[in-house]
Amino acid sequence: MNKKFLSAILFGALMVSSTGTFVSCKDYDDDIDRIDKELTELKSQIAALQTTVDNGDYVTGVAKTADGKGITFTFSKGSPVTVTLDVKDGEPGKDAQKITFDKDGQMLIDNEPTGIYPTKDAEKAPVKIEGGFWYTLNDKGEYENSNIPVSGLAVAGSEADGWTLTVIDANGNKQEVKVPTAASLMSEFEIVGLLGDDNKISSDAVVLNYSANKVIAKWEGPKGTIAKDDYIVATAKDQKTLLVRMAPSSVDFTGQSFILVNSKGNSQDWLALNSAVAYNKVLARAAQKAGLYTFSLAPTVVKKADYKADAWKVDGSDINTQKLALQNEAGTFTSQFGIGVTHDGTKMDDATVKLNGSTVLGTESTPVEIDLNVDNKITFDAANAVYDAYIEYSNDDDVLFAIDHDNAAMTFKATQMPDSDTKAVFKVVVRYLNVNGNVASKDIYVKVTKSLVDGVVYERTHKIVADATKNFFSIDLKSMTDKMSAENLAVFNRNALVNNTTFTVKDAKGDVVAGLNGAKAATLVAKGITPSFLDKDGKAVTDKIAAATTVKFAIDNEKAASNFKVNTPYTIEVVYAGADAKLADATIKLTLTLPALKDMFVHQDGI
């Protein structure tokens, strides 16, 4: 268990040498009122921490402040609490107590002699802080209390045990507050089973299937260099997700790390798991306990030289003959020993690249349209099928389009339009290493378009009804056209055509709903949603959009039921275009809901 002691942060990083300088908040000064004020402020900050903890909150992060003047505790529910001290630009302030040593080895406090001569030792510091006092090293190699109090703040602890903050005043009096973490609050841990894509828990034994895959060619990517014939140990094909329950349910254990161990506490390091992810869906079974989390299998690179015949042996026997348990990283909780492991599972298929949720990647002659200054997201059909990936494009295209990209997020965008004589198309290459060891690349061709107005966002929650005349929702075009300049509005009114409007529908994950990627109205109608442009009198507009005031979306319950789920968020991206170019766009955040039970029946007197 790795302990983290943060007192050094707040005491100015104590130097361990016979001529070093030791600092803390000053315990005496001519300006007693100022020190009392500082201690009062410090205690009020500690009181804020205590109140937060007393209210049942817990720490999710501990970090030094950017200016080096304190430490910030981030909580799961409440606002962060920062505790500060007397420092300047990350170094102890002018009023900090300074411990130094003269040429004879005497300890000085603010250059004042103390008559104490700590013993010199190559391995031990001449002084240390303990219990609110300075301790000095004697000739026996032991620390003695100098009875000189240290005023200030000390922080010690770990993710496993929680954090303890100690405020020490000028008289050596201590005030403590214990700040818990998620790991320190864990009270129960249960393996529920393996969860399928249908949200059903398998009745089969809990077995995690890994596959060991040889890398077919040298790879150099964001995660580093991998040599040809090294191995990637990763999830096998069709492996289900491990579902567990952790308590108390009031604590969010998201991000907690766990390892697999045998009965002796040992394991194979290659059997890695991703951190805990909260499971908030409804299980396909009668009862559901709160505090559910999932774990997926994480890929690990193994050097060719390390992958030997006995590589899978732990404590003398193959890991696949042993029953394993889950143990949290802090080592404070271990599950029941009932998890089996295999390492010869079927390897994953090569991943399929997606652009903005669609498998349509364009060609040079028919590129995918993207908006200027808008991030475009590259994903894969199975996130766990890829170990590493990055984006490439030519220097010439970078000059023309000023392309920004982020390999960590796998996004790119064009930030400028080329001159009017240049075709606004460029190529992005996605290079990726599949966990099955195959190195691959995919070309994406995009055409940059510039909307006449920033995209308008509508939020609609539509309650489905049986009466077709009432089963619709609408958006107004005025919300969009009002944002256009007079010149851009004229361009839109002159060119925007009803029949050139397209619709892209995406689910909550950002994946395109089948067949609805840049689809014309007829395709959307077939899926159960009929769009129509209406003028101010409610009459249909079929030519130029300029004559329309609203867009109505009628729901066909029978067709929609096969393509959309209730109580599930979708986005409909509407693109208004002219004869040969996009002009404007809008996004509809849509959720379809069912009516309340009482609204589904007609009340008749006497029945």
173 and 29: one domain?
yes
**Alpha helices of 395-452 — where are they, by DSSP H?**
395-401
Give the three-state DSSP class for 243: strand
173 and 88: one domain?
yes
Q: Please report the pLDDT score of residue 123 as a whole number.
A: 64
Q: Please report the pLDDT score of residue 581 as a whole number.
A: 77
pLDDT-derived band at 188 (thresholds 50, 70, 90) equals confident
In-domain check, residue 113: no
Distances (CA, A) of 96 to 7, 32, 63, 216, 604: 15, 14, 22, 60, 83
Q: Please report the pLDDT score of residue 87 as a whole number.
A: 41
361 and 284: one domain?
no
In-domain check, residue 531: yes
* DSSP assigned state of 201: B
Lowest mean pLDDT among 40-54, 300-314, 394-408, 475-489: 40-54
- Can you give the pTM of this predicted structure? 0.65
More confident residue, 486 or 185: 486
Please say which residue of 419, 449, 479 terminates a domain.
449
Please say which residue of 449, 466, 485 terminates a domain.
449
pLDDT at residue 111 greater than cutoff 60: yes
Q: What is the DSSP string of 327-388?
A: EETTSS-B--S-BEEESBPPPPPPP-EEETTBS----SSSPEEEETT--EEEEESSGGGEEE
Beta-strand relationship, 241-247 and 277-278: unpaired
Direct distance between the N- and C-terminal alpha carbons of the chain, in angstroms, rounded to an integer:
70
Distances (CA, A) of 167 to 21, 60, 110, 144, 276: 22, 22, 21, 22, 35
Q: Please report the pLDDT score of residue 95 as a whole number.
A: 45
Q: Which of 229, 243, 300 has the alpha carbon at shortest distance from 268?
A: 300
% residues pLDDT > 70 (the chain): 73
Q: Please report the pLDDT score of residue 1 as a whole number.
A: 29
476 and 568: one domain?
yes
More confident residue, 452 or 167: 452
In-domain check, residue 607: no
How many distinct structural domains can be found in the chain? 4
- At residue 348, φ and ψ (nearest 5 deg) are -65, 150
* CATH classification of the domain holding 403: 2.60.40
Greatest mean pLDDT range, 139-148, 387-396, 417-426, 512-521: 387-396
pLDDT-derived band at 68 (thresholds 50, 70, 90) equals low
In-domain check, residue 136: no
Q: Please report the pLDDT score of residue 208 as a whole number.
A: 92
Q: Please report the pLDDT score of residue 551 as a whole number.
A: 97
Range of the domain at 297: 186-343
Q: Please report the pLDDT score of residue 291 as a whole number.
A: 86
235 and 281: one domain?
yes
Please say which residue of 399, 422, 449 terminates a domain.
449
210 and 252: one domain?
yes
Q: In the predicted model, what is the mean pLDDT of residues 5-34?
A: 35
In-domain check, residue 156: yes
In-domain check, residue 43: yes
Q: In the predicted model, what is the mean pLDDT of residues 401-410?
A: 95
In-domain check, residue 399: yes
Q: Which of 18, 165, 13, 210 has the alpha carbon at shortest distance from 92?
A: 13
In-domain check, residue 123: no
Q: In the predicted model, what is the mean pLDDT of residues 316-324?
A: 91
180 and 190: one domain?
no
Q: What's the CA gap between 509 and 528, in Å, rounded?
A: 21
359 and 331: one domain?
no
More confident residue, 578 or 403: 403
